[in-house]
């Protein structure tokens, strides 16, 4: 944060405190700080990270101070050498699915280690607005959710709902709770057209009928089919699989889902349903057999697994800055293809023996990445549904290819618009060319240079810009990083702990 913005933010905090008639000691105590720390914040002598500002806004109950009400930017000074080790946080995609799945449970759901990210905040705002009691533990390591008997959908925070695609995952749980309801169109990253048709087709056997008009899904529910439900997904999508799992969990019969996604976040939903007493067979495969329950009312506690996409982001941070870095708690099962391709490109890395994630199921390793001379991949790099290369990891290969000697072809057959956003890397000195909206050629190596940039409306390409700018000489300003905060917890400060020089500032 610049001195000026630190000072003006400090003044706002002091004014909010005084308006509430609170002494520095009272507020410092509530924030677990020394009064001298609070004085330093209020005078602008101490810079604030995102988590501290969020805590202060909550303590002073001043929404104007919440980071989402202010636009956050980054100032990155490079080139950077990183060193040391960093833990991978739990995934955005499992978190949002579990938050939606908590609607199935009349008991108390406790989620451990949920990442404090904007996507989670949006879904929590939606859940609170419809009556779910949401409580974080003091240290934010646990999140408790308790559903009311009747949800009040009319009170839904529509603005929050529209900012995330995940709200589409309310369909599965809600079809058992309400005969009719409305949800706003799903948002999320702007990656071109993202269909919801597979969701509507797959939920129809549960009696769900959806008409989409004027920005709303109008859902009505009739009696579903009796007997065993065989559902073949027309696409192996992650959120559609999760939606069907949730619908099947409260269907007291058997549902067989074919062409299911076996991806990491789907596995976390399966583990959650199993903890609720729902029988789920075939976890990690493309055929899931679910035997649901009439009612779910269980006090349950689960921990979603670590994020393979964050792990890949951190590997990329090490590669682009030519640093030696240890990425701890990496879910290896969901990174194997990525590491195989990186190995072929010349990346040197070591893996520790495997150990278990907090969920007791996912296999983790620590990955130490060594500075390496990279060359272009022998073949085009393209994603596939798990167990292929994860589509969300593909953008990071553009940054890595820009580091490598030679020409790499990146083929994103899935998304119409994600590769286009990667052209922004050219502003930092990369040499990338779009052959068509799905195919990107990257010529490396790159002499990265600093630049003034605005985040594209897509999480992974935006993070790619942040990572590449750490390698650029000079000061890069990356404006409006909400999209990064959607999926990464306090990334700038966590990179700073490894040696990066990234200032957070707001306006
Ligand atoms: C909250 C969450 O979990 N989001 C993830 C989820 O989004 P989500 O499950 O919403 O993914 P989408 O439904 O957008 O599917 C991704 C795209 O792939 C296409 N498609 C998908 C499967 C398939 O077999 N054939 C096919 O063509 C879809 O038409 C769509 O254009 O999965 C995406 C693809 O892994 C990830 O980028 C998102 O991070
Ligand atoms: C595309 C992504 O997310 P979402 O589905 O939330 O837009 C992503 O995580 O890269």
Per DSSP, the residues of 262-301 read --HHHHHHHHHHHHTT-EEE-TTSSEEEEE--S-----EE
Same domain, 177 and 292: yes
Count of domains forming the chain: 3
Axis-axis angle for helices 92-101, 118-129 (nearest 10): 10
Distance 405 CA to ligand 1 centre (A): 31
What tokens were used for 19?
């308006």
219 three-class SS: strand
- 226 and 122 together in one domain: yes
Cβ neighbors of 115 (< 8 A, separation 6 or more) are 89, 90, 91, 92, 95, 307, 488, 489
68 pocket-lining for ligand 1 (C-beta < 6 Å):
no
Residues 420 and 462 in one domain: yes
CA angle 134, 135, 141 (to 5 degrees): 125
Other C-beta atoms lying within 10 Å of the C-beta of residue 318 = 26
Residue 268 CA to ligand 2 center (angstroms) comes to 17
Label residue 62 by pLDDT band (50, 70, 90).
confident
**How far, in Å, is the centroid of ligand 2 from the Cα of 21?**
42
Per-residue confidence (pLDDT) for residue 216, from 0 to 100? 87
Closest-CA residue, ligand 1 atom 17, reads: 414
Q: Is residue 62 within 6 Å of ligand 1 at its C-beta?
A: no
Atom of ligand 1 nearest to the CA of 169: 1
Residues 6 or more apart from 280 whose CB is under 8 A from it?
Answer: 245, 270, 273, 274, 288, 289, 290
How far, in Å, CA of 119 to CA of 299, rounded?
A: 25
Task: Among 241, 275, 302, identify where a domain stops.
Answer: 302
96 lines ligand 1 (CB under 6 A): yes
Q: What is Dmax (Cα atoms) for the chain?
A: 67
> Taking the CA atoms of the chain, what radius of gyration do you get in angstroms?
23
Q: Indicate whether 207 and 154 sit together in one domain.
A: yes
332 lies in the same domain as 251: no
**For residue 175, what are the domain limits?**
92-302
CATH of the domain at 36: 1.10.260.40
Residue 167 belongs to domain with CATH number: 3.65.10.10
Same domain, 348 and 425: yes
Say what the pLDDT of residue 417 is: 84
pLDDT tens figures, 97-153: 999 999 999 999 999 999 999 999 999 999 999 999 999 999 999 999 999 999 999
CA distance 267 to 271: 6
**Whether complex ipTM tops 0.90:** yes
Q: Does one domain contain both 341 and 431? A: yes
Is the CB of 259 inside a 6 Å radius of any atom of ligand 1?
no
Same domain? 252 vs 125: yes
- Quickly state the pLDDT bin for 224 (edges 50, 70, 90): low
| Distance (Å) from CA 310 to ligand 2 centroid | 12
Q: Is the CB of 418 under 6 A from ligand 1?
A: no
User: Model confidence over 324-370: pLDDT tens digits?
Assistant: 999 999 999 999 999 999 999 999 999 999 999 999 999 999 999 99
| Ligand of minimum distance to the alpha carbon of 100 | 1
Q: State the distance from the centre of ligand 2 to the C-alpha of 492, rounded, in angstroms.
A: 20
pLDDT-based confidence at residue 68 (cuts at 50, 70, 90): low
* Closest CA to ligand 2's atom 6: 188
Side-chain half-sphere exposure of 294, counting CA atoms within 13 A: 0
Ligand 1 near 480 CB (within 6 A): no
**Is the CB of 235 inside a 6 Å radius of any atom of ligand 1?**
yes
Q: Which residue puts its alpha carbon closest to atom 36 of ligand 1?
A: 392
Helix (H, G, I), strand (E, B) or coil at 407: strand
| Cα-to-centroid distance, 284 and ligand 1 (Å) | 17
Residues 327 and 433 in one domain: yes
Quick count: other Cβ atoms within 10 Å of Cβ 379? Answer: 11
Check pLDDT > 80 for residue 268. Answer: yes
In the chain, what percentage of residues exceed pLDDT 70?
A: 98
Measure the CA–CA gap between 46 and 404, rounded to whole angstroms: 40
Atom index in ligand 1 nearest the CA of residue 392 equals: 37
% residues pLDDT > 90 (the chain): 79
pLDDT score of 1: 39
- Residues 325, 177 share a domain: no
Q: How far is the CA of 452 from the centre of ligand 1 (A)?
A: 31
Using CA atoms, how far apart are residues 55 and 64, in angstroms rounded to an integer? Answer: 13
395 in ligand 2 pocket by Cβ < 6 Å? no
Q: 278 and 343: one domain?
A: no
Same-domain status, 118 and 237: yes
């Amino acid at each position: 944060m610049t001195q000026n913005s630190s000072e003006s933010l400090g003044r706002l905090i002091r004014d909010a405190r005084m308006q509430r008639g609170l002494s520095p000691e009272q507020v410092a105590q509530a924030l677990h700080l020394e009064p001298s720390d609070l004085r330093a914040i209020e005078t602008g002598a101490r810079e604030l990270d995102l988590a501290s500002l969020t805590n202060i806004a909550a303590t002073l109950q001043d929404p104007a101070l919440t980071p989402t009400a202010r636009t956050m930017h980054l100032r990155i000074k490079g080139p950077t050498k990183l060193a040391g080790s960093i833990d991978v946080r739990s995934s955005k995609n499992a978190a949002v699915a579990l938050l939606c799945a908590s609607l199935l449970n009349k008991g108390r759901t406790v989620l451990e280690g949920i990442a404090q990210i904007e996507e989670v905040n949006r879904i929590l705002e939606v859940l609170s607005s419809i009556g779910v009691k949401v409580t974080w533990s003091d240290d934010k390591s646990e999140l408790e959710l308790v559903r009311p008997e009747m949800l009040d959908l009319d009170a839904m925070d529509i603005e929050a709902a529209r900012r995330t695609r995940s709200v589409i995952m309310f369909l599965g749980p809600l079809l058992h709770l309400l005969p009719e309801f409305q949800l706003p169109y799903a948002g999320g990253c702007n990656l071109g057209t993202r269909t919801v048709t597979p969701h509507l087709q797959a939920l129809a056997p549960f009696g769900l009928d959806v008409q989409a008009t004027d920005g709303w899904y109008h859902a009505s529910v009739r009696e579903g089919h009796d007997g065993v439900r065989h559902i073949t997904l027309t696409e192996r999508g992650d959120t559609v699989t999760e939606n069907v799992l949730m619908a099947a969990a409260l269907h007291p019969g058997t549902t067989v889902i074919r062409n299911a996604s076996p991806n990491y976040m789907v596995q976390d939903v399966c583990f959650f349903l199993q903890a609720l007493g729902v029988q789920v067979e075939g976890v990690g495969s493309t055929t899931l057999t679910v035997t649901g329950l009439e009612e779910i009312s269980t006090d349950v506690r689960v921990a979603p697994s670590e994020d393979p996409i964050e792990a890949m982001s951190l590997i990329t941070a090490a590669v682009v800055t030519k640093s030696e870095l240890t990425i701890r708690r990496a879910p290896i099962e969901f990174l194997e293809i990525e590491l195989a391709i990186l190995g072929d490109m010349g990346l040197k890395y070591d893996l520790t023996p495997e150990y278990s994630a907090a969920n007791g199921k996912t296999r983790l390793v620590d990955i130490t990445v060594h500075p390496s001379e990279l060359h272009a991949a022998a073949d085009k790099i393209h994603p596939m549904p798990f167990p292929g290369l994860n589509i969300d990891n593909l953008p990071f290969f553009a940054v890595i290819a820009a580091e490598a000697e030679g020409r790499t072809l990146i083929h994103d057959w899935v998304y119409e618009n994600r590769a286009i956003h990667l052209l922004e890397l050219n502003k930092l000195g990369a040499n990338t060319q779009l052959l068509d909206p799905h195919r990107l050629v990257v010529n490396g190596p790159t002499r990265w240079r600093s630049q003034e940039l605005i985040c594209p409306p897509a999480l992974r390409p935006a993070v790619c810009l942040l990572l590449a700018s750490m390698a650029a000489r000079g000061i890069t300003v990356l404006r409006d990083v909400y999209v990064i905060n959607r999926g990464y917890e306090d990334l700038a400060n966590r990179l700073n702990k490894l040696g990066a020089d990234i200032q957070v500032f707001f306006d």
